[in-house]
Amino acid sequence: MDESAQARHVSQQILKAREAGVVFKSQAALFRASHHSAQLEIELTRKNIPFKKYGGLKFLEAAHVKDVICVLRWCENSRDKIAGFRILQLLPGMGPNTAAKIFGTVQRERNVGKALSKFSAPKATAEDWPGFVKLIASVRKGEHGWPAEFELARKWYEPQLVRLFDDAANRAGDIVQLEQIASGYKSRQKFLTELTLDPPEATSGEGHAAVADDDFLTLSTIHSAKGREWKSVHILNVVDGCIPSDRADDLEEERRLLHVAMTRARDELNLVVPHRLYTYMQSNLSDRHVYGSVSKFIPEHLQSFFQRRNWADHGSQPQFIRKSSVAEVDITSRLKERWG
C-alpha cells in the first residue's frame, strides 16, 4: 500500500527466508537513492535484524536525525545526560561547561521548564534561548499531543540545521521523512522506545561497519551493489520517480541501473512496488502523497514474465493476481438507459 507497508513486508520476507535457511548475508535490499531505505532501516531495527548499509549513512546514524531524536528523548527524560548535552550544545555560543551547569540546574528542579527559564543564557545564546525553553516545556507537558510534538521539534531545529550544515536542504528532507515515520506511532514514548540510538562514542554521524564474522543483511544503493551477488534480492520502490529517478538526466543510464540491480540476484528476485509514496521538500499547499505506478522500464507486455503478487498487511500470505474472466460492463450506457 505504501512505503511503511513495503518496509514491513520486506522485513517479514527476510525473516521468513532466514527461517528457511537463507542466512542474512545471502540476502540484500537494493534501492536507487540512499534515503529510500529509511523506513526499512527502522523496521529492521525494531525487529533486531542486523544490517550493514553501503552507499550513504544509516538513517539513524546521521547527525541531524540524532539531533531531533535527542530533543524528544530529553523531553521524555530530563535525566538523559547524553541527549541533554547534545541538544544544549546545538545552540549557538553554548559550550560543554555551560551545558553542564544547565543540566545540573535541571536535575535539582522538578519543573524542567521553570529551571530552564531561570537560567541566564550566554550572550551568544540569548536570542535562541526563549524558543528553546518554550519548546522543551511545551513538549514535556504534552500540550499538543503526538505527533504534533514532533512538528514543534522540527520547526525549532530547522534554523539550527541551516546554521550547522552546508547541505541543510537535503538534510531537511530526512527530518520530514522521520516526521512521517513518527506519525505511525501512537505516542512519543512508543516512538522512542522502538528506536535504537548508538552509544555516546558513536555520535560522530559516521557509518559503522558490522564485524566481518557477523551474519548481517546488506542494504545498498544500486551503484554500490555493482559486482556483488546474493541468493535473494529485494529492490525497493520500483516505481516511476524512483527508478528511473525523477532527477536523472540520462534515462538509459537509469535503465542500466535497474538491470544491474535485477542481475544481483542468483535465486530469487523481488521488485517491490508501493502504491503510495510520501513526498518531501514540497510547499504547504501540496498533497503530501503521490500514487506510484510500476517503473516505465517494465511495461505491461513485459510483466507477463513476472509473478505478480499482492500483499495485504499484517503478515498476510501473498495473493497471486489473475486476470478476471468477467466481461467488461459499459457503466455509462447502463446509466443512460436507467436515467435517460
DSSP string, 99-153: HHHHHHHHHH-S-HHHHHHHS---GGGTTTHHHHHHHHHHHHHTSS-TTHHHHHH
pLDDT averaged over every residue in the chain: 82
pLDDT per residue as tens digits for the range 284-296: 334 455 677 899 9
Residue 288: its pLDDT value, please?
54
What is the C-alpha separation between 316 and 322, in angstroms, rounded? 18
pLDDT confidence of residue 246: 78
Segment 138-147 mean pLDDT = 89
Distance CA 243, CA 254 (A): 7
Nearest to residue 280, comparing CAs of 72, 61, 36? 36
Q: Does residue 282 register a pLDDT over 50? A: no
Q: How far is the C-alpha of 177 from the C-alpha of 170, rounded, in Å?
A: 11
- pLDDT higher than 60, residue 183: yes
Taking the C-alpha atoms of residue 7 and residue 47, their distance in angstroms, rounded to an integer, is 11
Within the chain, all domains assigned CATH 1.10.486 are found at 63-202
- Spatial separation of the C-alpha atoms in residues 228 and 264, rounded to whole Å: 6
Q: Is 113 in contact with 131 (CB distance < 8 Å)? A: no
3-class SS string, 27-44? EEEEECCHHHHHHHHHHH
Max avg pLDDT among 118-132, 176-190, 326-340: 118-132
Give start-end residues of each CATH 3.40.50.300 domain in the chain.
3-54+208-320
Grid coordinates in use for 286?
Answer: 501540496
| Position 170 pLDDT exceeds 50 | yes
Global pTM value = 0.61
The residue type of 123 is K
Whether the pLDDT of residue 57 is over 80: the answer is: no
Place of cell 507477463: 304
CATH class as words, domain 63-202: mainly alpha
Q: What is the pLDDT of residues 17-52, one digit of tens each?
A: 999 999 999 999 999 888 888 889 989 988 889 999
The amino acid occupying position 227 is G
Helix (H) or strand (E) holding 234: strand 230-235
At 224, is the secondary structure helix, strand, or coil? helix
Task: Name the CATH superfamily, with its identifier, for domain 3-54+208-320.
Answer: P-loop containing nucleotide triphosphate hydrolases (3.40.50.300)
Residue 268 has pLDDT above 90, yes or no: yes
